[in-house]
Every structure is written in C-alpha cells, then in structure tokens.
Structure 1
Amino acid sequence: MAFPQDLLDSLRRAPDAIAFEHGDRRMRRGEVLDLIGRFAAGLRAAGIRPGDGVGLATGVTPEGWAAQIAVQTLGARAVGVRAGLPAAHLDAVLDGVAAVVTDAEPPEPAGARTLPIGPELLAAYEEPVPCGKPSDIGWVVFTSGSTGVPKGVAYRFDALGEFGLEQRAGDSAEDYRRFLLFGTLSSAVMVLHVQACLLAGGTAVIPEGLPDFPWILPRLDITAALVTVPRLYRMLDVLREEEIDLSGLRMLTVAGSPVEPGLLAEGFARIGPALRQGYGQTETGKLTVLDTADVSARPEAIASVGLPVEGVSLEVRDASGRAVPVGETGEVFARTARAFAGYWRDPALSATVLADGWVRTQDIGRLDEHGFLYLTGRARDVVIVNAVIHYTGPIERALAAHSAVDQAYVVAVPDERTGEAAHAFVVAAPGRDPDPGELRAAVAAELGEAAVPASFTVLDEVPVAESGKPDKAALRALAG
C-alpha cells in the first residue's frame, strides 16, 4: 500500500470525528481530507510533480500538516523548514526545492518561489491518490545544525509506509485519544506521533501558546505527549512541590537523551505507568522503549533505555565492525525497515553511517542477556586529554550518581597544555550544594584520576538548544 494511503483511508472512515483541536477551533477528519485534496490540486496547478522538492514553512496548524501529506500524496518530496534558520542553514535546506508552502512571511533568502496558504492555493479540489514510488524520496528532515550545516535525513516512501505498520501494531487507540501537538512540524518525532494519533482515531490537540507542563496535561485532557529530558526534569521540580492529577495521562514519552536513572525512578513514582523512556534517532525512528513494567520485572533495567521495539534489531560492535559478546561495550548498530535512505545529496556521509542494511548510531553502549540496551555515551562525545581518549558519558554518570547532583554534563574544550580538557557542569539536587572536592573524588573513584574534569560549575539549570536537548555548544562557550 502506497504512502500515505493508510492515513487517507483512516480519515475517510470517520469523517465526522475530530482530527485537530486548537482552542475553540475543531477540524473534523473529513474536513482534513478535503484540505489535503485542495492542497494537492493547488500544488499540481503550481507545477509540482513527482520527485519535486517542496519546502513547508508553516506553523503548527492543521493546514501545515495537511500540506505535507498533500506533497507526499503527489509523490513529491516534503522538506520541513524550521523557523529562524540562519541564512547558510536555510540555503542548505532549500537546495533543490522547487517551491515553499508558507503561512507567514516567505523565508529569506529563498531560492524557490513561495506558495502562500490561502484561497488561491486552495481553490480547487482533487481526490487525493498517492503517486509516490516506493523507492522515491518522500520526506527530508533536517537536523538542527548544531555541529555545522544541517544534514538532510532522507526517507523513501516505502520506509514511511513502515511507520504506519509500526503504529498499528503498537500503542492503543485509547493512548492516543488526545495527543498534545506543539513545537514544530519540522520535527520527525512530532510528525510521526501525529500520524500515530490519527491512525488510531485520536485527536491532535494544539495548545494556544507555549505548553505549561505539567498543568496543561489535565487542563486539556491530554492522554499522550512527548517531552525532552530537560522538560521532564522541570516537571519533576513542579511535582515535588505541587500535587497535579495526571491520572488521565496514558503515555508520556521522554526522548532526546537518556534520563538519569534516579530521576527516571522518581518520574515513574510521581507520574506513574504512563511515563516511558524512548530511544531512537531521526535516521531510524524509535528503536527501544523502557516502561514501568520492564523495571518492575528487572529493577536493574532502570539504567537502560529499554528493549528493542517490534521490527528493530540491535548489535553492539567493536572498532573493527565485529559484534561483541553480551555485556561488552561497543558502538550500537540498528537494523529496521523504517531506516532512512541516506543523507540528502551527501553519499560520502551516508556511506559512513549505512552499511549492509544496518545504521551506525554512533552511540556507545551494551546489551545485557535480556536484551536491554544500556547507553554509555556518544562515539563523538569524547575528550582527548594528553592523547588519551575519555568518553564524556561515563564521567557524566559518575557525577550524576552523587547525592548532591541532580544533572551532570561534560564538554571538551581546547587546552594549551593537554590538547583538550574536560569541563563539568552540574545542576544541584534540591537543597544541596555540590562540593567540587567530593565531585572530583567521585569521578576518580569510578574512572581514575585522568578522567577528572579540569573544572566544575554549578548551574541553576542547563541551557537547552532549539532541539530541546541540552545545549553543549552553550556549555562549551561558558567553559571557554
């Protein structure tokens, strides 16, 4: 079945059910289907053909989502355009794009014509019939560009169809009855959760303004939501001081980076079985999930990121590419039919990550005898001190294990004497004042004197990048 046929069929089956809710506005599934058909007709009239690239520079609206589905229905390539991109990043994102659909001021500089959402673009209607070939690229999701020019993660139409199969086999319709949609439609994980919600017959609820977690969850009767790790930590700060009824919540997925085990245990205790930790990448989609049932069965799994989800195989390999025995550490490789096809217009970079059907995650970890995956760091998150490599992940975990530390982050900064030096930043546990001497001793006891950071800085909160992840570039600037 060609993508997005599943979604179109789902909208047709219950045309009067509410698909999107935004304040007082309600859009029924039949109205969304009509909107997709109008976008498809307008885009075709504008000259968009299968294989063309179409940028999507829209807010989080039903129209923005419908425009993406219409682009993919035509067999064209949907390209999310995040707001506020620097000029060099914008040029990279719009490279090869024929037109940009927008509901605001056209992105500048734009090497493509703009198609404003309005009566002219939506005047006609055609029955939406998927035209994409399985092997064609139907979606390019660009990374944040925090390490340079953004990378375009390209998905084929057949992989997009596999996400639908995963969602039908996964979470229940009741879980997705009301999914909180916020942030940006250029986020792969957010768009895929919207897809899961609509396939399950649920409603995507768009808040007015920025969501105020955790109060927004009961106020809007949210059953499913996605949060980053820093946002989860801020929720716990609130829940320590205030009792909030989260009994209606069925699925709160925290993703983006591993959760410190002590704080994850606190999250399970305060939020309940709705909380789950998900691990995945833009290049692969969801790979593993950890929930309270896993931890109840095997308490040691609280330090893991869970078990592989259906359709995912994992291997841990050494530097030569050979699989290592259970319990040994190496680089994590993943195989799934939902994996990306490669980086857009960058075959050399693609070849460094894709090999024989496997994706090199560039994460360091190990698998235990029960299949739980434990992450210990990023292959790129290293500090080289006096020509000796130290992974920052183990240093962060040693610091986070200290009773006075709530969160810990370590970055590498150039150093005239040692080549690079590790600098640690910690957020104090409530009511505690971390002592640098104790922190040094904790790292030395766990990893040896050579791994002890050159400095320790206590922060009120960690800076957060646009992706929602801890902003290590900002931390490096503070250390410098």
Structure 2
Amino acid sequence: MNLLEAAGDRPVFEHGARAVTGAQMLGLVRRIAAGLRAAAVGPGDGLAMMLGVTPEAFAATIAAYVVGARAVGVRPGLPDGQLRHVLHQDITAVVTDAATGPEHAPRTLTVSELLAASGEDGPLRLSGRPEDVARLVYTSGSTGTPKACAQTYAAMNAAWTARPEAWPPAIRELASRLRRYLVFGSLGSQVMMEYGVLTLAAGGTMVVADPPAFPDAITRYRATASVITVPRLYKLVAAQRTAPADLSSLRALMVSGSPLDASRLREALDVLGPVVFQGYGQTETGTISMATPRDVPPSVGFPPDVVDVEVRDADGRPVPPGVDGELYVRTPAQAIGYWAEPAETAEVFVDGWVRTRDLGHFDEDGRLYLTGRTRDVVIVNANLYYAGPIERVLAAAPDIAEAYVVGAPDEDTGEAVHAFVVPVADRIPDLGSLRALVGERLGEACVPATITILDEVPTAPNGKPDKRLLTTAIPRGRPASGRFS
C-alpha cells in the first residue's frame, strides 16, 4: 500500500493506451477489497485468482491480501483435471475477469461486480494475520507433480523486495534498470509479481505485453526490462544476429526457469550488451542469489546477507568451497511447507531449512555455482549420473545451441541416457562426434543411447523445457540419432 501511496500521480501500470497512476491503483484496491468484504470474504478464505494481466487483476491480487484471504494464482491454460484439483484445495471462491467462472468453481466473483462496491474511507484496514497463509504458489512441476507452496503474511512482510533500504547490491543494480518492466502470462507467477513489486519500489512502471513476442515487444513498448526464459533468450540472440532490432531501450533481461550455460551467457552479453541478469531461486524460497552482467560466468552471484546457503554432502554435513553438494537454503520470505502435503513438506522443509534438491558449490570468494539437480539423474548399471554435466558437454560443442538429457528404462542397463539437441542455425551436427565427446569427457556410461535433433525444444506452459514431453519422444529401437520437431 505504501508503494502505491508514494507513487501518487506517477503511472505504475500501463495497459495498451491506458496508464494507471499509483493513486488510481490504490482506488481500485480499495473498491475491490470492499467488494470482497461485502461478499463475506475474509481471513483464512481461499481465493483462486483466474485473472488476465490487467490493472484490475493486479488490484484484485493486492485486495485479496488486504482482506486477509489466501490468494491462489491459477496458471492460464491449466488442464481441466489439474484445475479441478486446485479448485478443491479449500477454495472459497474464484475471482475472475471473465463473465463467468469455471463450471466446477465453488463460487464465482467477477472483478466487475467487486468494483461496484464503494471504496473504504480512511486508511486501508488490513486484516491479514501473521500466522495465516497469504498465498499459495504452485511449483512448476519440472521434476514431478506441481505442489502449492504456502507463504504466510509474516513471511510476505519479511521479504525485502518492497523495501529499498534492504536491497542487496545485485538487486539494487537491477532495480535501477526497471523503468519500464514488461509483464505477461500471469500475475499469479511468483517471478512476474516479485519483479513487478520491485519495479514499483524502484519508481518504475509495469507495462503489459501479452503475448510477449521478442524482440518486437521490447521495441514497441520501449521496455527497459523483462523476464526471459533460457529458450527465449537463445532465440532473441539468434534473431539479433540475423536481423537486428532496435533494443536501445533495453537495460535488463532477468533469466529465469533453468540454468544458463556459461558459453551461451557470454554470447548473449556479446550480442545484447551488459543486460543479462541470472536469477537463482525457487518457489519454496523466493530469490536466493542474483548474478549481474559483471559477474563471473557461470556463477549465479553472491547470496545476500539475509539469505543463508549451506552446501551439504549426502549425510547432511557441510562441505568446503569447491566441493559439490546439495544446497540447503533459508530466506526471510520462504514458504512454511506445501499445502495439504505433509509427507512432501517433511522431506523438503527440514529444521527451518529448505532442501533445494539442487547441486552446487561455492568458490573461495563466496560466489555460488549450480551444477545439477539431485533428481535430474539417470541410473545406469545401478550407478547414478546427473543429467546436467552431460547437457553441458553437449551444449559446449560448436554446432550445438541447446542440449537436454533424459533417462528411460533400458533392458540391458536399467536406465539409459537419451539426448535431445538444438543445432546452431544452418549447421548439421556430427552425432557420432557428440557421442564420442561425451564418452571422452564423462565415460561410456554417460554416452547417449540416442541423440535426437530438435528444431526447438518443447516448453511447458511456464516456459521451461518440458522434459516429460521429451521422454515420450525417445526414438524406439535405440537408433543413434533421430529427429523430433
């Protein structure tokens, strides 16, 4: 609320030709909050937010927090079965900007009817209780079934995003570049919303670009910043090499969703300039670390002082710098667990720490490096091999732009490695050489049983590479190569 009050007559949200000031946005929040209270929605009630990317959607999300409800962001395009599951997770009502809600919604409240209420006079009455869950944010499901991370009001208030005095150096540098930040997809996305709040705190404007066609959206909206996934970054770099667009307004691209190969990062910096920020975080924890364009690839920067990161071995003991292990993290705004998932909560949330299931190490200077995931593995002849190192060897080959590795059952070895590669434009990779390279660097057990050439990697709705779909596309009969597009 303080950010909107401080903004006053400054535009905070731009939707097409419409610019909404801080004062106007605060007025929307007041009216929607009054509408929610008139609908008997209050502390502890679950609100499924099925909204587009509009000023009213942003206001509705903030209003849900004002009345103390539990806001649940619903990703657009969710399959019907998953949508039913979400809407049966203690949901009181669905808030939508459509004329009607889904058939299986317990109750539907449209933004238009909520806005019909008169705004409350005087200071906003905040009803959220510290121990109540403020929001549920679903994980991407990149390594399993999506789970709902529960963040309390106390944790939300402890976050540093909206407090410039608490920004670590990397975030302070990023914030200075967020004059016009593109928003798209869903405001229920933790990443999209977190950078949005940071933009408002930095005095910038959230600018709607949906769908986010790059580089056109950057040029059309004179954007200074945007979130971008690794596949989209690769495509943008390739497009700039062949048909450069005017990206003179661009100051920051926040890479999110999956690690960025060091050689591809250097290429992006060479083509786009010093604009690439590589963020590392999880839905369970929020931001853990941030690498600026000046940081040493492939590190993800220095975790800020308010974030604790320990690298531990398989027995849970801390390891020294330079040694890989699993990352355990504590952040001020981390979730308290998974909603209605006690077994999963007990496995991941341990003694106040979050098990990231990510592998990495620190260098002697305190920079953090990611090297893989504990569950992104292939078990060959009862020995465990991580997909990350195999992907990095393949991606480092001069003819390969992207590489992805999955495992599949194998009659001879229990599981076998299967690779999918996206070639550099106009190049035809020598698949035999790729297999030999992997064997030379990592050993015969890591050599892919098949290598499939992709025109582009298939992505899940959240923009991440869809490894589950790749698994279904493994060629039968174990040929050395194939093609899938």
Please tell me the TM-score bracket, short chain as reference: over 0.9
Instruction: Name the SS of the counterpart of 2:92 in structure 1.
Output: strand
Alignment-derived partner of residue 459 in structure 1: 454
Using the TM superposition, give the Cα deviation of residue 230 of structure 1 relative to its aligned residue in structure 2, in angstroms: 0.5
Q: Within 2, Cα distance between the matches of 1:31 and 1:294? A: 39
Distance 1:111 1:149, change over 3 A: farther
Q: What letter matches 2:351 in structure 1? A: D
Instruction: Name the SS of the counterpart of 1:293 in structure 2.
Output: coil
Instruction: Name the SS of the counterpart of 1:463 in structure 2.
Output: coil
Instruction: Name the SS of the counterpart of 1:118 in structure 2.
Output: helix
Alignment-derived partner of residue 72 in structure 1: 65
- 1:122 and 2:116 matched: yes
Alignment-derived partner of residue 279 in structure 1: 280
Using structure 2 for the length normalisation, give the TM-score. Answer: 0.92
Using the TM superposition, give the Cα deviation of residue 236 of structure 1 relative to its aligned residue in structure 2, in angstroms: 0.6
Contact kept, 8 Å, 2:313 with 2:319, in 1: the verdict is: yes
User: How big is each residue's C-alpha offset from its partner over 1:231-256, in whole Å with a ceiling of 9 and x where there is no partner?
Assistant: 10010111111233333222211111
Contact kept, 8 Å, 2:180 with 2:206, in 1: the verdict is: yes
Q: What letter matches 1:388 in structure 2? A: N
Q: What letter matches 1:188 in structure 2? A: Q
Instruction: Name the SS of the counterpart of 2:159 in structure 1.
Output: helix
Contact kept, 8 Å, 2:161 with 2:198, in 1: the verdict is: no
Q: Within 2, Cα distance between the matches of 1:230 and 1:122? A: 43
Q: Within 1, Cα distance between the matches of 2:7 and 2:422? A: 48
Alignment-derived partner of residue 478 in structure 2: none
- 1:104 and 2:105 matched: no
Q: Within 2, Cα distance between the matches of 1:144 and 1:134? A: 27
Alignment-derived partner of residue 349 in structure 1: 344
Alignment-derived partner of residue 137 in structure 1: 133
Pick from 317, 324, 327 the counterpart of residue 319 of structure 2.
324
Using the TM superposition, give the Cα deviation of residue 415 of structure 1 relative to its aligned residue in structure 2, in angstroms: 1.9
User: How big is each residue's C-alpha offset from its partner over 1:307-362, in whole Å with a ceiling of 9 and x where there is no partner?
Assistant: 21342121111111111111111111111112111101112211111122211100
Distance 1:213 1:333, change over 3 A: same
Using the TM superposition, give the Cα deviation of residue 109 of structure 1 relative to its aligned residue in structure 2, in angstroms: 4.4
Distance 1:324 1:107, change over 3 A: farther
Contact kept, 8 Å, 2:42 with 2:127, in 1: the verdict is: no
Alignment-derived partner of residue 471 in structure 1: 466
Instruction: Name the SS of the counterpart of 1:110 in structure 2.
Output: coil
Q: Describe how 1:144-223 pairs up with structure 2 within 5 A.
A: 144-145=140-141, 149-165=145-161, 168=164, 169=167, 170-171=171-172, 174-207=176-209, 209-223=210-224
Contact kept, 8 Å, 1:52 with 1:98, in 2: the verdict is: yes
Using the TM superposition, give the Cα deviation of residue 227 of structure 1 relative to its aligned residue in structure 2, in angstroms: 0.4
Q: Within 1, Cα distance between the matches of 2:248 and 2:317? A: 46
Alignment-derived partner of residue 483 in structure 2: none
Instruction: Name the SS of the counterpart of 1:292 in structure 2.
Output: coil
- 1:311 and 2:306 matched: yes
Q: What letter matches 2:359 in structure 1? A: I
Q: Within 2, Cα distance between the matches of 1:86 and 1:459? A: 25
Contact kept, 8 Å, 2:274 with 2:293, in 1: the verdict is: yes
Using the TM superposition, give the Cα deviation of residue 69 of structure 1 relative to its aligned residue in structure 2, in angstroms: 0.6
Using the TM superposition, give the Cα deviation of residue 165 of structure 1 relative to its aligned residue in structure 2, in angstroms: 4.9
Pick from 372, 380, 383 the counterpart of residue 385 of structure 1.
380
Alignment-derived partner of residue 236 in structure 1: 237
Using the TM superposition, give the Cα deviation of residue 285 of structure 1 relative to its aligned residue in structure 2, in angstroms: 1.0
Q: Within 1, Cα distance between the matches of 2:113 and 2:106? A: 21
Q: Within 1, Cα distance between the matches of 2:308 and 2:100? A: 42
Alignment-derived partner of residue 253 in structure 2: 252
Instruction: Name the SS of the counterpart of 1:308 in structure 2.
Output: coil
Q: What letter matches 1:110 in structure 2? A: H
Q: Within 2, Cα distance between the matches of 1:222 and 1:309? A: 27
Q: Within 2, Cα distance between the matches of 1:304 and 1:444? A: 26
User: How big is each residue's C-alpha offset from its partner over 1:36-67, in whole Å with a ceiling of 9 and x where there is no partner?
Assistant: 01111100010111111111101111111111
User: How big is each residue's C-alpha offset from its partner over 1:145-169, in whole Å with a ceiling of 9 and x where there is no partner?
Assistant: 4555431011111221232456522
The root-mean-square deviation of aligned C-alpha atoms, in Å, is 1.7
User: How big is each residue's C-alpha offset from its partner over 1:148-207, in whole Å with a ceiling of 9 and x where there is no partner?
Assistant: 543101111122123245652233654222110111122110011111112222111002
Q: Within 1, Cα distance between the matches of 2:29 and 2:180? A: 22
Q: What letter matches 1:425 in structure 2? A: F
Alignment-derived partner of residue 80 in structure 2: 87
Unaligned runs of 5+ residues in structure 1 are 1-7, 296-301
Q: What letter matches 1:249 in structure 2? A: L
Q: Within 1, Cα distance between the matches of 2:421 and 2:163? A: 38
Give structure 1 regions of 4+ aligned residues with deviation exceeding 6 angstroms.
none
Distance 1:383 1:313, change over 3 A: same
Alignment-derived partner of residue 445 in structure 2: 450
Distance 1:255 1:167, change over 3 A: farther
Contact kept, 8 Å, 1:32 with 1:66, in 2: the verdict is: yes
Using the TM superposition, give the Cα deviation of residue 130 of structure 1 relative to its aligned residue in structure 2, in angstroms: 1.7
Q: What letter matches 2:237 in structure 1? A: L
User: How big is each residue's C-alpha offset from its partner over 1:385-438, in whole Å with a ceiling of 9 and x where there is no partner?
Assistant: 221111111111111111121111000112233221110011112332111111
Using the TM superposition, give the Cα deviation of residue 107 of structure 1 relative to its aligned residue in structure 2, in angstroms: 4.4
- Between the aligned residues of both structures, percent identity stands at 49
Q: What letter matches 2:131 in structure 1? A: S
Q: What letter matches 1:294 in structure 2? A: D
Distance 1:364 1:438, change over 3 A: same
Q: Within 1, Cα distance between the matches of 2:462 and 2:370? A: 20
Contact kept, 8 Å, 2:161 with 2:194, in 1: the verdict is: no
Q: What letter matches 1:197 in structure 2? A: T
Q: Within 1, Cα distance between the matches of 2:456 and 2:351? A: 42
Alignment-derived partner of residue 58 in structure 1: 51
Greater shift, 263-272 or 140-149, is seen at 140-149
Using the TM superposition, give the Cα deviation of residue 76 of structure 1 relative to its aligned residue in structure 2, in angstroms: 1.1
Using the TM superposition, give the Cα deviation of residue 286 of structure 1 relative to its aligned residue in structure 2, in angstroms: 1.2
